[in-house]
């Protein structure tokens, strides 16, 4: 069916097109964009016309760093965030006791979203704290960052972690300093736990996915890049099934984990789906220093990036701290020296602590940075109090990166923080936190650049700029209608940007969410 959206403020984000008032959609693509009078003749008998009442239309938002399964799970598990009135370990215990009364003994209890900074005790809960809530149910709590978990004694026994258990190569088991007993706190052991703990049952996961889909569409997100390190051929087939069932409307670019790289090389990615509904992305490697040393080693990292690079794929390198970003740059540089490639678009995910010389090196190597501007809003006040000054002055330097010519992309890392792109856009423009503090105001960027981080730059990061990222005739009709124009908000009213609401979301020309509908 043809569709015309008219009486709108259309920000095309196409440098060759001016703003328009009307967009014509045919067969899931943008057919024309321009003035109301000039496009009147394109209306046909079966065309549906929607009056946008002066609202603003943008290309659909792309969240380029997302964890769909974790998000779906978070929506059907215990919410331990401060906004859910969790301010102490006692509050956590109370919620665990409450849910344990409704579940048979032996049932897993999962919780997510606590942060020790937000708890009165200013520490992680321990196995013994959780045991006080219930000793007959295994418990797994996931830290807000996703990088740490706390298990009670029952859960530790089920996953085989005891005093005698050695730390895994890329993880860390926290232990009591006097006895050596595990405290229940585990760092960088998500992959290990996923192999030991049963997943959600079918009904729970389906319910979580439906809620996740609703959330994504309500925020105007029309594409996600799923970057789970456990993505492989098996998960690809699961995602394909969900897409066929219509459980997830936004398009998915799946980044494979390093352990799934051989699957990536061999898998026949042909699909009965529209080619843009589910597509393979790059290959992810997590680079970290959790154990006090670089993991993987620089030599091993160089080998892995070279394998990905030689195969013609995109390396997606999780690197947060300065040392890990430096290691990622070295690996890309080594691969390019051996096998030059002008448009590799290898990515560094997060890039949290990045001094100016490192930003210039990233630019020189042609690396794309996928940042998380909403971390400034949700975590910024904590950063101001806990991050040491040498790192704080280089924290999420989006303005510096953009000014140095780096392609910077916006994302949420959901479920670490909620996936609302307007919060990320607001944070990139204002550098304000949820407590109205400011983190490195010199790193602010202009509104249009912030919008491009979630549209054109995000499309480019997935090699999709010919199909997405701007409202251009011939491109996919993935659109979002907003209640106001983010580029027209006066500087002294900048806080209004985060209050802008999504009125309608379209994927492939289909209305997948409408406010009040």
- Angle between the N-to-C axes of helices 298-310 and 322-338, in degrees from 0 to 180, rounded to the nearest 10: 50
232 falls within a domain: yes
**Are residues 323 and 308 both part of a single domain?**
yes
Instruction: Determine contact, residues 285/302, Cβ cutoff 8 Å.
Output: no
pLDDT at 517 over 90: no
**Are residues 453 and 304 both part of a single domain?**
yes
The torsion angles phi and psi of 277, rounded to 5 degrees, stand at: -70, -40
Place of tokens 């409408």: 514
CA distance 99 to 70: 20
**Are residues 171 and 291 both part of a single domain?**
no
> What confidence tens digit (pLDDT) does each residue in 380-393 have?
999 999 999 999 99
Instruction: Determine contact, residues 358/400, Cβ cutoff 8 Å.
Output: no
Q: How far is CA 20 from CA 13, 15, 66, 300, 489, in A?
A: 11, 13, 31, 51, 19
386 falls within a domain: yes
**Are residues 267 and 330 both part of a single domain?**
yes
Q: Stretch 341-361: mean pLDDT, rounded?
A: 98
Kindly state the percentage of the chain with pLDDT values over 90: 93
Instruction: Determine contact, residues 350/401, Cβ cutoff 8 Å.
Output: no
pLDDT band at 266 (very low <50, low <70, confident <90, very high): confident
Q: Stretch 436-445: mean pLDDT, rounded?
A: 98
The whole-number pLDDT of residue 420 equals 99
Q: How far is CA 419 from CA 100, 115, 221, 504, in A?
A: 30, 18, 9, 16
Count of Cβ atoms closer than 10 Å to residue 359 Cβ = 22
**Are residues 333 and 269 both part of a single domain?**
yes
17 falls within a domain: no
Q: Check which CATH number belongs to the domain holding 104 and give it.
A: 3.10.310.70
**Are residues 398 and 329 both part of a single domain?**
yes
50 falls within a domain: no
128 falls within a domain: yes
47 falls within a domain: no
The predicted model scores a pTM of 0.94
β-pair partners for 48: 3
CA distance 461 to 408: 9
CA distance 206 to 196: 22
Least confident of 122-126, 273-277, 297-301, 476-480: 273-277
Kindly state the percentage of the chain with pLDDT values over 70: 99
Instruction: Determine contact, residues 408/345, Cβ cutoff 8 Å.
Output: no
30 falls within a domain: no
CA distance 460 to 367: 12
Q: Which structure tokens are listed for 487?
A: 């580029």
Instruction: Determine contact, residues 468/59, Cβ cutoff 8 Å.
Output: yes
Domain that holds residue 86: 77-194
Listed residues 148, 177, 194: the one ending a domain: 194
C-alpha 295 chain-centroid distance: 22
CA distance 401 to 252: 27
Comparing C-alpha atoms, which of 119, 112, 128, 132 is closest to residue 88? Answer: 119
Q: Stretch 343-360: mean pLDDT, rounded?
A: 98
Q: Check which CATH number belongs to the domain holding 351 and give it.
A: 3.20.20.140
The whole-number pLDDT of residue 43 equals 87
**Are residues 190 and 213 both part of a single domain?**
no
Listed residues 194, 228, 243: the one ending a domain: 194
Listed residues 172, 194, 216: the one ending a domain: 194
Instruction: Determine contact, residues 158/196, Cβ cutoff 8 Å.
Output: yes
pLDDT band at 283 (very low <50, low <70, confident <90, very high): very high
> What confidence tens digit (pLDDT) does each residue in 201-227 have?
999 999 999 999 999 999 999 999 999
**Are residues 255 and 179 both part of a single domain?**
no
> What confidence tens digit (pLDDT) does each residue in 395-435 have?
999 999 999 999 999 999 999 999 999 999 999 999 999 99
**Are residues 245 and 132 both part of a single domain?**
no
CA distance 419 to 422: 9
Q: Return the SS3 of 92.
A: helix
**Are residues 128 and 265 both part of a single domain?**
no
Instruction: Determine contact, residues 275/462, Cβ cutoff 8 Å.
Output: no
**Are residues 365 and 229 both part of a single domain?**
yes
Count of Cβ atoms closer than 10 Å to residue 478 Cβ = 32
Instruction: Determine contact, residues 477/182, Cβ cutoff 8 Å.
Output: no
pLDDT at 275 over 80: no
Number of domains the chain contains: 2
> What confidence tens digit (pLDDT) does each residue in 38-85 have?
888 898 888 999 999 999 999 999 999 999 999 999 999 999 999 899
**Are residues 410 and 471 both part of a single domain?**
yes
7 falls within a domain: no
């Amino acid at each position: 069916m043809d569709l015309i959206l008219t009486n709108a403020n259309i920000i095309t984000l196409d440098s060759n097109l001016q703003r328009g008032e009307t967009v014509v959609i045919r067969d899931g693509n943008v057919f024309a964009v321009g003035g109301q009078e000039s496009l009147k003749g394109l209306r046909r008998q079966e065309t549906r016309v929607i009056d946008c009442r002066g609202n603003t239309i943008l290309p659909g938002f792309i969240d380029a760093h997302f964890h769909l399964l974790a998000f779906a799970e978070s929506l059907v598990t215990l919410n331990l965030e401060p906004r859910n009135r969790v301010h102490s370990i006692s509050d956590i215990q109370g919620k665990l006791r409450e849910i344990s009364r409704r579940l048979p003994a032996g049932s897993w209890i999962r919780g997510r979203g606590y942060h020790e900074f937000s708890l009165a005790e200013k520490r992680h809960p321990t196995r013994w704290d959780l045991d006080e809530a219930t000793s007959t149910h295994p418990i797994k709590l996931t830290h807000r960052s996703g990088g740490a978990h706390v298990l009670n004694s029952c859960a530790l026994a089920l996953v085989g972690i005891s005093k005698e258990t050695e730390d895994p190569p890329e993880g860390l088991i926290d232990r009591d300093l006097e006895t050596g007993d595990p405290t229940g706190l585990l760092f960088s052991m998500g992959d290990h736990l996923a192999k030991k703990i049963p997943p959600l049952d079918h009904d729970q996961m389906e319910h979580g996915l439906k809620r996740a889909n609703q959330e994504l569409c309500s925020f105007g997100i029309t594409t996600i890049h799923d970057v789970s390190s456990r993505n492989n051929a098996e998960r690809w087939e699961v995602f394909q099934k969900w897409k066929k069932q219509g459980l997830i409307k936004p398009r998915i670019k799946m980044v494979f984990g390093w352990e799934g790289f051989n699957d990536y090389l061999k898998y026949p990615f042909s699909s009965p789906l529209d080619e843009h509904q589910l597509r393979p992305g790059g290959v992810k490697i997590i680079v970290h220093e959790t154990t006090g040393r670089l993991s993987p080693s620089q030599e091993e990292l160089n080998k892995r990036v070279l394998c990905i690079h030689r195969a013609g794929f995109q390396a997606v390198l999780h690197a947060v701290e300065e040392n890990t970003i430096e290691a990622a740059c070295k690996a890309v540089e080594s691969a390019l020296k051996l096998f030059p490639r002008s448009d590799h678009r290898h990515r560094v995910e997060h890039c949290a602590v990045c001094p100016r010389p490192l930003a210039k090196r990233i630019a020189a190597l042609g690396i794309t940075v996928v940042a998380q501007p909403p971390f400034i809003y949700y975590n910024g006040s904590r950063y101001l109090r806990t991050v040491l000054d040498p790192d704080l002055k280089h924290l999420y330097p989006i303005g510096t990166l953009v000014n140095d010519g780096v392609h910077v992309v916006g994302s949420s890392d959901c479920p670490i923080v909620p996936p609302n792109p307007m919060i990320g856009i607001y944070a990139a423009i204002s550098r304000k936190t949820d407590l109205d503090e400011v983190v490195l105001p010199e790193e602010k960027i202009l509104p249009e650049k912030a919008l491009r981080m979630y549209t054109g730059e995000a499309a480019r990061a997935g090699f999709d700029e010919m199909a997405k990222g701007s409202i251009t005739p011939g491109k996919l009709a993935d659109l979002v209608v907003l209640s106001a124009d983010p580029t027209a908000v006066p500087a002294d009213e900048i806080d209004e940007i985060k209050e802008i609401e999504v009125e309608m979301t379209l994927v492939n020309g289909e209305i997948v969410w409408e406010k009040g509908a």
